[in-house]
Amino acid sequence: MIFEIVAVGPLQVNCFILGCEATREGVVVDPGADPEKILAVVNRLGLTVRQVINTHGHFDHIGGNRRVLEATGAELLIHGGDVPFLSRAAEVAAGMGLTTDNSPLPARLLEDGLRITFGGYGMTVLHTPGHTPGGCCLYIESEDKIITGDTLFADGVGRTDFPGSSHEALIDSIRTKLMTLPDEITAFPGHGPSTTIGHEKRHNPYI
């Protein structure tokens, strides 16, 4: 599997570019900013992007949606619980002294257990509310990888002091959806370095 990470925007969001070596079909996860940088990687890899997927709706993860969608003709997927965030991205960013674009509406909605395929690969959606109502993780079973968005970080968890957040829901999501995975699974958060499920089981102070 093609699996590249591009840190984008002032908040250094990890944008993931995944692809199939055989068919060159791919997906882009969390194009939060710097769409030109993201598209340059897509072009270098020779990928046809079929889907743009948002792990959740915060502005730093969706700010590049519009331009990546326009350039690729891909469909947008996000959980229904986070759709209201899409039209408020510019307003929220401005409140932090930043600028971004509002996002188009999704073509399809993510839901727990949904299977997303591209070429010969696939991943399963795990709905993990808490950081946001519609937060999701993307489990790539064949590669022993999971993209955790802002649900789980290396030795940390997502913030829950935002409107619509719930610390209790977040911890429940992590314990029931993520900590039940095999220890060897590598977790790729929305910010910062990767970790493993086993490491987080043993060392994450929030769990």
Distance CA 15, CA 199 (A): 23
CA–CA gap between residue 30 and residue 149 (Å, rounded): 8
Cα separation, 1 vs 28, whole angstroms:
13
Question: For the chain, what is the total number of helices (H) and then of strands (E)?
Answer: 6, 14
> Could you tell me the CATH number of the domain that includes residue 128?
3.60.15.10
Decide the pairing of beta strands 108-110 and 115-118. Answer: unpaired
- Provide the number of structural domains found in the chain: 1
- Is pTM beyond 0.95? Reply is yes
Confidence of residue 12 (pLDDT cuts 50, 70, 90): very high
pLDDT digits 0-9 by tens, 104-153: 999 999 999 999 999 999 999 999 999 999 999 999 999 999 999 999 99
Per the structure, the complete domain to which residue 50 belongs is given by 2-203
